[in-house]
Amino acid sequence: MDIKEYNDKIKSILITKEEIDEAIKKAGKKIDKLYDGRPILLVSILKGAFVFMADLCRAVSVPCEIGFMCAKSYYNGTQSSGIVNITMDLDKDVSNYHLVIVEDIIDTGRTLNDVVKLLKARNPLSLTVVTLLDKPDRRVVEFKADISLFTIPDLFVIGYGLDCGEFYRNLPYIAEYKEK
């Protein structure tokens, strides 16, 4: 792909960096209020949530540890494979932790449904799900996040951690991807 083609695929900005920053501040305060000084373990689902995680962890004031899990549901392009694979697991026993799952987007709901089931079976002290984006129109498995920053229509989006074919994760905003 050449640079012109790369840029042409960024159709329009859906959520600006400023809007994201503002929403993250609010989400950080909600988390602080919810845990009221108790320590938490923020668990980011890679790769998509790495940017959100980096900003969200700096918006909370309760003591926090961070952890990463890798779940893959999109093999390539914009089509969901329907199969969720945990390709990297947490490196600690979560039974002594208040878990806060940090996800980039809930689409069909399959990824979080599987991840939450898996983590709940390990008996954490509590479990809360925070998602940056929610595409409720595309749900296949019923799933609702405890904290959702933006609800978006059924569009394929890129930027702020979200990719198409591994590109565009570094855009500082959320944009609609031009699918032919």
Concerning whether 107 is annotated as a catalytic residue, the answer is yes
Q: Which stretch binds ligand IMP (CB under 6 A): 10-18, 27-35, 50-58, 109-117?
A: 109-117
Enumerate binding residues for Mg ion (CB under 5 A).
48, 104
Closer Cβ to ligand IMP, 38 or 120, answer by number:
120
Residues 168, 14: contact at Cβ < 8 Å?
A: no
Closer Cβ to Mg ion, 104 or 176, answer by number:
104
**Token pair for residue 74?**
């999109």
Distances (CA, A) of 159 to 2, 68, 85, 148: 18, 20, 23, 17
Instruction: Decide if residue 94 touches ligand IMP (CB under 6 A).
Output: no
Per partner kind, with CB cut-offs from 5 to 8 A, the member of Mg ion, ligand IMP, none near residue 157 is ligand IMP
Among 50, 150, 156, 173, the residue binding ligand IMP under the rule CB under 6 A is 156
Residues 162, 132: contact at Cβ < 8 Å?
A: no
Q: Which stretch binds ligand IMP (CB under 6 A): 20-28, 32-40, 60-68, 99-107?
A: 99-107
- CB neighbour list of residue 131: distance below 8 Å, 6 or more residues apart: 103, 104, 105, 106, 112, 145, 147, 148, 149
Residues 145, 134: contact at Cβ < 8 Å?
A: yes
Closer Cβ to ligand IMP, 32 or 139, answer by number:
139
Q: Is the peptide bond before 117 cis (omega within 30 degrees of 0)?
A: no
Per partner kind, with CB cut-offs from 5 to 8 A, the member of Mg ion, ligand IMP, none near residue 161 is none
By annotation, the residues acting in catalysis are 107
